[in-house]
Structure 1
C-alpha cells in the first residue's frame, strides 16, 4: 500500500507505528473529527491495550487526541480537558462514514524504510561520514536533516525520528570520526589539528549531493551541530528553507581553551566512557540524572562510546569558532526569518550569546523552559512543539 494522505476520505486501513527501536506495528485505526465541532482530530484504535498504548505515544507526538478500543478519550498533548463527546463505534460503518478525515497536512505511510551508508567527503586525507536516512526520497515527504552535538551520534535523535517520520523523511549523519563515521585510513592523520566548522558544513553539502537532495525543509543542529547549521544555512540558502540553531555559543574565548584541553586529557587517561559521563554531568543537573536512569543509560551508551580522536578533532573546530560574521551575513541578506535560535533555559553559558546572535541576524530566539544544553532529550515535547511551529507554518 502506498502513502496514505490525511486529506483522503475514510479510515486508515493499516498504520505502522515505529516506536524507538521496536519493529513496525500494524494497527487498525481511523482519524476523525465530530462534525460541526472544532475539536482536535482523534485517532481511533480497535486493538489490544498494549498496542493502544503505542498509538497513544504516537498521538502525543503529533498533537492528535486518542480513543482506544475502550472508547476512552485521552488528551494527545492538546490541553483539551473538556467533556468527552460520544465517539462512533469503530466497527459501525454507518456512523463512521459521518466522520470525515480532516486535512491535517500530514502524510502517514504504511512503511518507513531506513537506509544507511558511507559517503566520502575527502579522499586525501581519507574522511568518510556515516548517514542514516529514515523515509523515502521520492518527493512524497519534506526532508529534515539533523546534526548532533559534540561526542554524540545519530542515536541522539532516535526519539525525534519516531515523532517526525510519519510526516517527514529524516536524514541523520555522524560527524567526522564520531559514531559509525570511521577514523581516517590516512597514515599519521593529525586529529589534533582537526577541522573547522566550515569543513563540517561542506560535509553536509557533499552528503546532500551524494543523496541527490536539492533542498531541505529544515536543518536542525545541536551544540556544535548548531554552528554547522548556521554556517550551512548562510552559505547555501538555496538548499534549505528553515534553520534551527539549537544551543551554540557565538565564539570561543581564550579562557575556554584550558577546559577544552583538560577534557581531551581526561578522555585519554580515563577512556571514552568516563569522558561521556563527565559530559552528561555538565549537560544535566544531578536531580535530572537521578530521576531519569533509562535516559541516562542510553546517553552513556552514546557519548561513552565515541572516539577520543573524534572528540579532539571537533574541539579544534570549537577553538576556531566565530559565528558573528555569519549572523551579520544573514541580516545583510534579509534572511533572518528563515533562522530560529533555540536554547535551554538552564544552559546559562549559551543563552546570552544565542540571544545576541539572533539579534544580529534579525532572527527569533526561543528559550525552552526547564532545560539545559541537550533540549531534545531533556524537554522533547517542548522542543518538538518549537520545531513544528517553525517548519509547518
Structure 2
C-alpha cells in the first residue's frame, strides 16, 4: 500500500505487472477510489505495468482544502509519472479521469503513448448543475445526492437490493471525503477541454456504457468526433462504470488497444 508525497501531497497509489513493461495508467471517477479497477487489472498486468492511484481528495490520498482546479489533478498525474520514471503511458481516464488526462495532454501530449477516454467528455455538465450539486452537499453531505448519482452510475439490474457489490460501491461513494468531492466538483465545473480535444494528436479510444446516465453515449460520441481519428465503442449492459459492471469487456477493449499502441508481446 504505497504512499508517497507526489506534487506536494500524500498520494495513495499502486503498481501491478512487470517493472520493465509498457505502462498503463488507470484514473478513477468522481466519488470512487482505485479499487473500481480491481477486476480489470489482473487481465492487463500479465503484460503491462499498471499504475492506479487515488486522486487528491479521494480514497486514502490527502484531502487539500476545496476548491480544486483540473490543473491540480493533472499536475498530480504528471508528477506520478515522473515518480515512476515513465516517459510515456497509455492513460485511461474514467469520468473526471478523462478530464485529468485531457489536462495532461494540454501540458505535454508527448507523455501520452495513447489515450482512452471512458464515460467522459471534453466538457461535463454546466456551472449551474455543478453549483447545485456543491450546494446540496454543503447542506446535506454526499448522502443528499447519493441516490441520484448511483442511478446514473449503474444499470437497474446492478442496483438490485440483493447485490452486495452495489451496496459496497454505494458505501465507497458515501465514504468519499466531502471536501475532496466538493473540490473536484469545482474542478469539473470550471474545466472545458474542447480545444484540447480538437488539437489532440494522440491515438484515442472513446468508450461508454450503453446505459450511462452521467455522460450518455451521445455526449461521449460527440467528444470522439472532436478528436482526429478517435475510435468510439459502446459497452452493452453497463452504466457509468463499465470497469465494474462489465470488467471482461472493458479489459478486452483496453488490452487490445494497448496491444495496438505498444505492439503485442510488448513486455520487456
TM range (shorter): 0.7 to 0.9
In 2, Cα distance between the equivalents of 1:231 and 1:257? 19
- Mapped pair 1:117 → 2:3: yes
Query: TM-score normalised to the size of structure 2?
Result: 0.86
Deviation, structure 1 residue 247: 1.0
Name structure 2 gaps, 5 residues minimum.
Answer: 261-268
**Structure 2 residue matching 1:288: 3-state secondary structure:** coil
User: Partner residue of 1:108?
Assistant: none
Does 2:85 correspond to 1:212? yes
Q: Which moved more, 1:352-361 or 1:203-212?
A: 352-361
The separation in 2 between residues aligned to 1:291 and 1:390, in whole angstroms, is: 35
Name the counterpart of 1:341.
Answer: 206
Provide the secondary structure at the position in 2 that maps to 1:286. Answer: coil
Distance in 1, matches of 2:124 and 2:220, equals: 13
- How far the C-alpha of 1:120 sits from its partner, in A, is 3.1
Q: CA deviation at 1:274?
A: 5.7
Q: CA deviation at 1:251?
A: 2.0
Structure 2 counterpart of 1:353: 219
Structure 1 residue aligned with 2:155, among 281, 285, 290? Answer: 285
> What is the rounded CA distance, in whole Å, between the counterparts of 2:162 and 2:246 in structure 1?
12
Number of the residue aligned with 1:173: 53
Listed one character per residue, the Cα deviations across residues 365-393 of structure 1 (whole Å, up to 9, x for unaligned) are 11212322111112222212211221112
- The structure whose RCO (Cα within 8 Å, separation 6+) is larger is 2
The offset of 1:306, in angstroms, is 0.5
Q: 2:40 aligns with which of 151, 160, 168?
A: 160
In structure 2, which of residues 233, 243, 254 is the aligned counterpart of residue 376 of structure 1?
243
C-alpha displacement of 1:249: 2.9
Q: 1:207 to 1:321 in 2, by over 3 A?
A: same
CA 1:387–1:292 in 2, change beyond 3 Å: closer, same or farther?
farther
Q: Does 1:145 align with 2:25?
A: yes
Q: CA–CA distance in 2 between the matches of 1:234 and 1:263?
A: 27
Change (3 A) 1:143 1:262: same
Give the aligned length: 258
CA deviation vs aligned residue, 1:45-90 (integer Å, no higher than 9, x gap): xxxxxxxxxxxxxxxxxxxxxxxxxxxxxxxxxxxxxxxxxxxxxx
Is contact 1:252–1:320 with CA below 8 Å preserved after alignment?
A: no
Q: Is 2:79 the counterpart of 1:199?
A: no
Aligned partners of 1:175, 1:264: CA distance in 2, in Å? 19
Partner of 1:132: 14
> For 2:86 and 2:113, how far apart are their aligned partners in 1?
13
Relative to structure 1, the CA distance from residue 357 to residue 170 in structure 2 (aligned partners, 3 Å threshold; closer, same or farther) is same
Q: Could you tell me which residue of structure 2 aligns to residue 13 of structure 1?
A: none
Question: Of Structure 1 and Structure 2, which has the larger fraction of its residues in helix?
Answer: 2
- CA deviation vs aligned residue, 1:146-190 (integer Å, no higher than 9, x gap): 111001111111112222222222111111111111223xxxx4x
**What is the CA–CA distance in structure 2 between the aligned matches of 1:159 and 1:251, rounded to whole Å?**
28
Which residue of structure 1 aligns with residue 111 of structure 2?
239
3-state SS, counterpart of residue 310 of structure 1: helix
**Equivalent position of 2:264 in the other structure:** none
Instruction: Give the Å deviation of 1:234.
Output: 4.9
CA RMSD between the two structures: 2.2
Tell me, in whole angstroms, the C-alpha distance in 2 between the residues paired with 1:215 and 1:251.
25
1:201–1:231 contact (8 Å) kept in structure 2 = yes
What is the CA–CA distance in structure 2 between the aligned matches of 1:275 and 1:128, rounded to whole Å? 28
Tell me, yes or no, if the aligned pair for 1:233 and 1:243 is still in contact at 8 Å. Answer: no
Q: Give the secondary structure class of the aligned counterpart of 1:245.
A: strand
1:225 paired with 2:97, answer: yes
Deviation of the 1:345 alpha carbon: 1.6
Deviation at 1:252?
Answer: 4.6
